[in-house]
Amino acid sequence: MRTDRALRALGVAALAGMVATVWLGLFVTPNAVGFADGTVRLLYIHPPLAWVMFIAYGMATLSSLLYLWPRTRHRRFDRLAGASAEVGVIFTGLTLVTGSIWGRTTWGVWWAWDPLLTTTALLFVLYLGYLAIRNVPGDPETVARRSAIAGLVAFLDVPIVFFAVSWWRSLHQGPTIDLATRHSYVHGSMAWTLLLGFVSFTLTYVWLMAHRYRLAALKDLEDDQGLETALAERWAEAVR
């Protein structure tokens, strides 16, 4: 099938990209000035992970919105939201781990309560809550609607949290991430590798999403067919 082949091509491309990123990142690009030995390598995976995390979250929120909007109400958006949340939770966890490692090597602490990472941690917990809500039993439309509303309610919280934590941190003298300094050292082969990292992680996200979505669609199909059987069994109860 065409989609199968396209998916496989996508998977191969994603894998190739990731391998290339790792190889380039570990062996080819130089050590950067101002970073502890070797930690610049994290530059090639941490920002891409965070980027994908935001895409996933945005996708889940957008799909929830589309599902709730009467004109675009369709089960596919609910499946998209669920798939995106599941994939997103993985990337969020990885973002937290790589961020923490970076913090350890750069500032000597495993966790520095900086605004971005703290918001990410909160996002992680919100994702988990969202997935918990999706698992509450009910008929598909009910679950979809309930999850969509819950997703939006959680989404509204994220900017508030970010600002709150930023204000909170700005009152304390402590290590802060300065995005500018991070990127001012990025040029040449580093820049290309970083770009490659972004691209390959995004491809990986799309590939994972496609498979997860397919799984959800198949499950819905099975459930719908199960309805016919269930109806028949119910009628049979009346035959005495």
Interacting residue ranges for another protein, rule: CB under 8 A: 122, 125-126, 128-129, 132-133, 136-139, 141-142, 145-146, 149-150, 152-154, 156-157, 160-161, 163-165, 167-168, 171, 223, 226-227, 230-231, 234-240
Q: How far is the CB of 22 from another protein (least distance, A)?
A: 33
Residue number with CB closer to another protein (110 or 235): 235
Residue number with CB closer to another protein (180 or 227): 227
* Three-state DSSP state, 175: coil
Q: How far is the CB of 179 from another protein (least distance, A)?
A: 22
Residue number with CB closer to another protein (152 or 210): 152
Q: How far is the CB of 231 from another protein (least distance, A)?
A: 5
Q: How far is the CB of 81 from another protein (least distance, A)?
A: 16
Residue 135, exposed/middle/buried by CB under 10 A (0-12, 13-18, 19+)? exposed
Q: Give 202's Cβ-side CA count (13 Å radius).
A: 11
For residue 113, give the DSSP letter: -
Residue number with CB closer to another protein (36 or 143): 143
Q: How far is the CB of 61 from another protein (least distance, A)?
A: 14
Residue number with CB closer to another protein (16 or 153): 153
Q: How far is the CB of 195 from another protein (least distance, A)?
A: 34
Between CA 104 and CA 210 the distance in angstroms is: 35
* Three-state DSSP state, 226: helix
Place of tokens 């970083």: 194
Helix (H) or strand (E) holding 176: none
Between CA 86 and CA 143 the distance in angstroms is: 16
Between CA 92 and CA 52 the distance in angstroms is: 9
Residue number with CB closer to another protein (45 or 53): 53
Going by C-alpha positions, the residue among 41, 106, 81 that lies closest to residue 216 is 81
* Three-state DSSP state, 141: helix
